[in-house]
Amino acid sequence: MDKYLKLKEILTEKVEDNLSDLIALNDDLADHPELSGEEHRSSKKIAEILEKKGFRVEMPFAGLDTSFRGIYGDDNHKYKVAIMAEYDALPGIGHACGHCVSGSISVLAAIALSELQDELNCDIHIIGTPNEEIDGAKCAMVDQGIFDGYDMAMMIHMYDQNLLYCKLLGLHSYLYTFHGKAAHASAAPWEGVNALNAAQLMFHGLDMLRQHVTSDVRIHGVYRNGGEAPNIVPEEASAEFYFRALDKDYLLDLVKKADNCAEGASLAMGTTWEKTPTAAAYDNLKNDDAGIEYLREVYDELGIEINGDHDKIFGSSDAGNVSFVCPTFHPTLQIVDRGIPIHTREFADAVKSQRAHDSIRKGAMVIGLQVAKIFSDEEKISRMKADF
């Protein structure tokens, strides 16, 4: 029998043997959502399952309380693959991003692949990457060099489409704070310098800037502080903004233009201003064409119809940062009807559905076969690395 077909047979068996445990994990995570950076119960639950399956689990990992790394065996093979697991939820709407499903897929894939390490000459590591929705644990890990030693990284996201890759925007986020001077808003308003007016002017400047940026750019913001009382001229006001774009250099230029809006608003109102990052900067996703070609074969083998638009902007993810360190794959699987977006209550309602449970099996097979297909063939490994 062809080596790859034999590996596929073993993978299928291991996925089926462990599927019920991971469906139970998914449903438990869905019933007990934890916010970004607070995933103590979720990470412990996953670590316990991995330890029962023979993994050595380091937790906390990379200086992050709710992160972990699971390693199976002696960790002495030629190649290394990182399977990334997400498990944080959203405020108010739980697992409306589907991370309970995605994380369960990663755990199942790691368990199934652990049996093939010798045949592939490849160590399978599973890395718990919390806090994706806010500050991106993967960003901190990239900065620490955690992914430097890996030959490939992979995870799967839930969506309303089946895609081989996502168009991820780079993301920078900042808090702009304006400082003015307090005064009685009725008795002596001329003595005051209105910081809130400066923040408002910055919003107007950014709204006008939208006319003159590329179509992929996204700018959105909220006021964080607008003053203390109507009868006091606001001496301090702040607004937080997200800036997104497909190209890293263009994104940096966009932030400079936003700074100009802040400077102009400050000059107009007589305030001072400062900005501070509110989260780690997310990179766009760097695709590996050879690896995507192999992934297309995997989808075809599993009968997964590629039914979405690869040019549609997906959003942002810290997986983009990993893609600049090693070949990284971030495909999607459909668990809702087309037109139901992530980060909605309708999406959250779907994460315990039969469709989601089926995707846990399919997703584990996608990751498993992608790893088996590439690392059972030195030529494929070389092509993937060359494209990276």
The Cα 246–Cα 223 span in angstroms is 26
What is the number of other CB atoms lying within 10 angstroms of the CB of residue 219? 18
128-169 pLDDT tens trace? 999 999 889 999 999 999 999 999 999 999 999 999 999 999
Multiple choice CATH, 3-168+284-387, 3.30.470.20, 3.40.50.720, 3.40.630.10, 3.30.70.980: 3.40.630.10
Residue 1 has pLDDT above 60, yes or no: no
Pairwise CA distance, residues 80 & 149, whole Å: 7
- Give 334-362 pLDDT, tens digit per residue: 999 999 999 999 999 999 999 999 999 99
Distance from chain centroid for Cα 36 = 11
Topology match between the domains 3-168+284-387 and 175-277: no
Average pLDDT over residues 27-54: 97
Q: Kindly write down the DSSP assignment for every residue of 168-235, as one continuous string.
A: EPEEEEEEEEEE-B--BTTT-GGG-B-HHHHHHHHHHHHHHHGGGS-TT-EEEEEEEE--S-TTB--S
The topology (CATH level 3) of 175-277 is Alpha-Beta Plaits (3.30.70)
Give the residue extent of every domain in the chain: 3-168+284-387, 175-277
Which residues on neighbouring strands pair with residue 221, listed in sequence order? 241
What is the number of other CB atoms lying within 10 angstroms of the CB of residue 191? 11
The mean per-residue pLDDT over the stretch 196-223 comes to 97
The pLDDT tens digits of the residues spanning 244-290 come to 999 989 999 999 999 999 999 999 999 999 999 999 999 999 999 99
Q: From the CA atom positions of the chain, what is the Rg in Å? A: 23
